[in-house]
Amino acid sequence: MLKVHNTLTGKKEVFKPIVEGKVSMYVCGNTVYDFCHIGHARAMISFDIISRFIRHLGYELNYVRNITDVDDKIIKRAAENNETPQSLTERMIEAQREDELRLGNKLPDREPKATEFMQEIIDMVQVLIEKGFAYQGTSGDVYYRATKFEEYGKLNNRKLEDMLAGARIDVEAAKEHPADFVLWKQTKVGEVSWPSPWGEGRPGWHIECSAMSTNCLGNHFDIHGGGPDLKFPHHENEIAQSEAATGEKYVNYWMHCGAVRVNNEKMSKSLGNFFTVRDVLAKFNPEVIRYLMVSSQYRSAIDYSDQSLLEAKVALERLYTALRQQDVAATFVPSDFTTRFEEAMKDDFNTAVAVSVLFELVRELNKMKTEDAEKTSVLAAELLSLATLLGLLYQDPEYFLQNSTVSEGLDEAGIQALIDQRTQSRKDKNFARSDEIRDELASQGIELLDSREGTTWTRS
């Protein structure tokens, strides 16, 4: 029985899809004006794992994640780069997909772009105007009447006036109320725009997701997810727009992943602690980043630092070392390890507990290695099967252990050449030279492991 923490109710609930055997899930994607940062990676990996496990349970999942490809930030950045907004967004979309695939994610079933749904956005705004939930202000922009939606604030469990206190909400003379938010904005000359009943313009951010999600999944669907910073105002506004326009309940289960903090501080460019995925990939194997995200339950905050990545690297190396030079059975009968792993995942996708089960399995595998090759082969197959549900252990063990960090020193060919020299020195009984080579490699972070089968290495 799968249980999901629902942000809307603040409780863990038994998951029951609208249509038996089928699950519809929409996740807010990125505004593609820059490279993905580690906060984006947290959300992408979290919902990738959620989607994997939902499918593992036998559900037919329709996973939709949008792309915001029209926005003030995009227009500003494109102008700074002296390129068109379309050129910028196409480059950033391609970069995002590259990053995501390197992190071991499977792409969503559908990735709609806001610019592909302009007529649907305009139609929804028109419906809201006709129902009295929206109006055109004196500036020409179209606004949503937040005060008309009686349940405004239900996602965050706060009243409208409480949410306004201390919130950064634009106060414009053109608006009837400070909480009203823009649905359609007039554009400046030379900016990208679309024709509408209210003049040339482009959509506000919130209305894009309402139009895309309902058109892709229907007016009422199962799961809506996103990062912690989207609960207010973005998701609150999505509920208000969608339910006012359709007259139906919008979403059954709201899911939000935890924040990523850097050395216990909020990540921001002004603090100089802002890291893109590509920044981190320049130093660590992509799976190390994934393990860091997976080692905590998706709703927990993560503290990012070089130290936390090094700890993730060491933990992941323990898993890979257990598989090193290990035969893996073609099939296995699920044991108590699988049962406890699945129980953890059914409890609101608790990957932290699920990972601990993997390490218990590794301890058993290591204990049996010298006793029963057939049993260890079956345990190795079970380990790989469970790890796959988390998107882990997808690399060759030897390759990972040699490339868990990125070194600017010796490449693989250079390391192997020195190992070959050391092997020959030992055959020649030139142990002084053999020790020199070991020390030279150690100084560059290369640890040698001698066995009957030969010498292997890892980066320390």
- Do residues 232 and 352 both lie within one domain? no
Q: What is the pLDDT of residue 16?
A: 98
- Asked if 208 and 66 count as a contact pair (C-beta separation under 8 A), the reply is yes
Question: DSSP characters for 339-371?
Answer: HHHHHHHHBT--HHHHHHHHHHHHHHHHHHTTT
- Do residues 214 and 167 both lie within one domain? yes
- Asked if 279 and 41 count as a contact pair (C-beta separation under 8 A), the reply is no
Q: How confident is the model at residue 338 (pLDDT cuts 50, 70, 90)?
A: very high
When comparing pLDDT for 220 and 414, which is higher? 220
Last residue of a domain, one of 367, 383, 402: 402
CA distances from 285 to 18, 278, 281 (A): 40, 11, 6
Q: What domain range is 211 assigned to?
A: 3-260
- Do residues 439 and 390 both lie within one domain? no
Q: What is the pLDDT of residue 405?
A: 80
Q: 234 labelled as ligand-binding?
A: yes
- Do residues 321 and 215 both lie within one domain? no
- Do residues 144 and 35 both lie within one domain? yes
Q: Is the pLDDT of residue 34 over 90?
A: yes
Q: What is the pLDDT of residue 411?
A: 64
- Do residues 356 and 446 both lie within one domain? no
**Which residue in 457, 459, 450, 460 sits closest to 417, CA to CA?**
457
Q: What is the pLDDT of residue 170?
A: 56
Q: How confident is the model at residue 431 (pLDDT cuts 50, 70, 90)?
A: confident
Residue 60 has which token pair? 């037919």
Q: How confident is the model at residue 188 (pLDDT cuts 50, 70, 90)?
A: confident
- The pLDDT tens digits of the residues spanning 355-407 come to 999 999 999 999 887 778 889 999 999 999 999 999 999 999 999 998 888 75
CATH of the domain at 366: 1.20.120.640
Q: Is 284 part of any domain?
A: no
Q: 269 labelled as ligand-binding?
A: yes
How many Cβ atoms from other residues are within 10 Å of residue 209's Cβ? 28
Percent of the chain with pLDDT over 90: 76
What b-and-e string marks burial along 292-317, b requiring 16 or more CB atoms within 10 Å of the CB? bbbbbbbbeebebeeeebeebbebbb
- Asked if 165 and 264 count as a contact pair (C-beta separation under 8 A), the reply is no
Contacts of residue 218, defined as CB under 8 A and 6 or more positions apart, other chains included, come to 24
Total-model pTM: 0.88
Mean pLDDT computed over every residue of the chain = 92
Contacts of residue 330, defined as CB under 8 A and 6 or more positions apart, other chains included, come to 381
Q: What is the pLDDT of residue 420?
A: 80
Q: Is the pLDDT of residue 202 over 60?
A: yes
Q: 28 labelled as ligand-binding?
A: yes
Q: What is the pLDDT of residue 269?
A: 67
Q: Is 281 part of any domain?
A: no
Q: How confident is the model at residue 413 (pLDDT cuts 50, 70, 90)?
A: low
